[in-house]
Structure 1
Amino acid sequence: MSGKARNSFVFVIPVRNPEDDKVSNYQCIETALHETVRSLTRQTWENTHVVVVCHQVPLWSSDYSNQVTFLDVSNLSVFPPNTNPVRVDKGLKYIIGILYAKKNLNPALIMPMDADDYVNINLAKSLIWKNHFNKLSDGYMIKQGLHINLEVTPQYSIEYEAAYQIRNFDHSCGSCRIFKPKPLMRRLKSIDTNITEKFSCWPSKLPNASLKVPEEPVVWLSDRSKSTYHTEDSIVNILGRHINQNAYFKFSSLSLIGAAKGCGHGNHDGPRQGEVHQDKLISDFPIQKFYGEFGVLRNS
C-alpha cells in the first residue's frame, strides 16, 4: 500500500430521515447536501473521500462515484422516523460511517461533518502533513470559521448572500473537529471490544456509488449502546453532540480559517435554528474569497 493510500482523509456526513416531522422540505436538505459534497470533492489532497449516511440516495450520486460513498440505511429498523433524539440519530450514523471508513478507506484522519457545511480546500492537505509530526493530540479543532448566509431558491439551487467571520466558531458549528482513528476507535470499543469485527463485512458499491448497510451489525450496535443514550459520556452522544467532544478528546487548535457553516435554509436542528450568530460577528468575509477557498464554483 502506498503512502498516499494510507494517508486518506475521510469526511463522514449523516443525513436526516426524510419522513421526520421536523423536516419541512427534504429537497432543500438534499440541495444543501449536493453543494457540500461537491465542494468537498475539490480538496487539494487527492486522497480524500466522503461517506454519506442517508435514507435516500440522491439522483446525482453517481456523479461523484470515485470519491463519495452513500451508505443507505433506509431499510434498517434502527432508524424509524420521529423516534431517536437528533444526537442519537447523528451519533449512530457517524459511527456507521466511521466503521465503514476504517474498514475500507484506510483513513489517517476522519472529520464528522454536517450536511450543509463547507471546509477550506487546503484543510486535508495541511492536516495530513501536520499529522506526521503531531503525536500528542487526538485530533484537531478548527477555531476560526465562517457563517454563510444562504438561500435555497424555488428552483432548488443555492444562492450565497453574505459571509462572516465568527468569534468562537467551534461553539457554533458541528463541522470543526478532525479525529485521528486510534483514539476514536478506542472510544468506539467502549461499546464493545469486538465492534470492528461486527462491521467487517460490507457489500460492494453499486454503480450509483451507494450500498445498502447490512441490518444485523446495526441492530447489534443499537442493542449494545441503547442503555447509554441518556449518559453524556456515551460515544453515541459524544459524536452526536459536537459541543461535548472537548471533554473526551485532546484537540490541537488550528490557525486556518478552516470551515464554514451554512445558515438560513430553514432545515436546521440546533438551538438557534441555523441563523447567523449576529452577536459573534468579527467581520465580513468577501464572498468571492469564500467561493475560491471553500471549493464553491460560481460564474461571477
Structure 2
Amino acid sequence: MSSNGLINLPQFSVNKYALNNLFNDRRIATLHLLKSSLLVSISGAFRIYIAFLLIQAEYIALHCVAGALIIYAVYTLDRAMDTEEDAVNRTELKGASNKTALLISLLCFIIGALILAAGGLLAIAFLPLVTGYLYTKGLTVGKFKLRLKGSMGVKNTIVGLTWGAFIAGIAGASSGNVLPTLLVFLFFGTKLFVNSAIYDFKDVKGDFLAGIKTLPVTLGEKRTRKVLLLMHFVSHAVLIFFLLNGTIGFEPVILLYSLLAGILTIRNFTRPVEIESKARQTKRLFLVDGESSSIVGLRAVSGIVL
C-alpha cells in the first residue's frame, strides 16, 4: 500500500462522476415534472374560452390565462407530493426536486389568483387548490380524518365537479343567465370525469398496487367502457338539444368534434397496456389534452371558410 495517498484518487474520481450523474438525473427528472402539467394547463385555457362561447358571455383573455396558471399549479403540486401510485405510474419523475416544483407552482397560483381576484373571482381560484389538497393529503382534526382518495369513482367525480365548476364559474361569472352556466358546468364536469377515467386505464398497475379503487380496477375494462360511453353520449345529447333551442351559443363545430373525439378516445384508450408506445401516447395526448385546442383551431378555420 502506498503512503502517498494516490491510491484513493480513482475512488474519488468515481464518486465525483456518480455525483455528476445524480445531479443530471435529478435535473432531468425535475424538468419532466415541470413540463408534465404544461399541456393540461394549455388545454384548460382553451376549455375556458370554449365555455365563454357556449355561455355567450363576454370573453376575457386574462381569465383564460389565469385559469391555465392555476391548473398548472394544482397539477404540478399534486405530482410533486410523491404519492404511492406515482412511484409506479410515473417513474420518470423519481428524484425530481419537489422544492423547485412547489416554488414554481406557488408563483403560478399567486399570479393566477391575483388576476381572478381583480375580477371578483378569488373564491373560484382557491376551489381546485383546496379540493386537490383534500384529495391528495386529506384533512386531520383530532381523530377525524377526511380524505377523498380511495373509493371507487371518487377521484373521477372530484375531478369532474371541481374543474367543471372552475371552468363554468370563470366563464359564467358575468352572465346574467344561470342555465347556460349550469349546462356548461355539467358538460365539462362529465367530460373531465370521462377523461380522468381514461387516464386511469394507463395507471391500472400503480393504482392496484396502491389500493386505489379506480373504475377500471373495480368494474373492469368492458363495464367501465360502457359507463363512459353512456355518460359521453348523454352529456352531448343534452347540450345539442339546448344548442338547437338557443339556450347556449350556436357552436355545432365544438359539439360535433367533441362528440367524435370522445368516442374515438373511449374506444381506443380504455384498454390497459404494459408499456405505452410513443405513437399511442401522442394519439392519446392529441385526443384528450389536445382536444380543446383542436376544437378552437377547427372552429377558426371553418369560420374563415364559411
TM-score, normalised via structure 1 length: 0.30
- Higher relative helix content: 2
The structure having more radius of gyration, on CA atoms, is: 2
- Higher relative strand content: 1
Structure number with the bigger relative contact order (C-alpha 8 A, sep ≥ 6) is 1
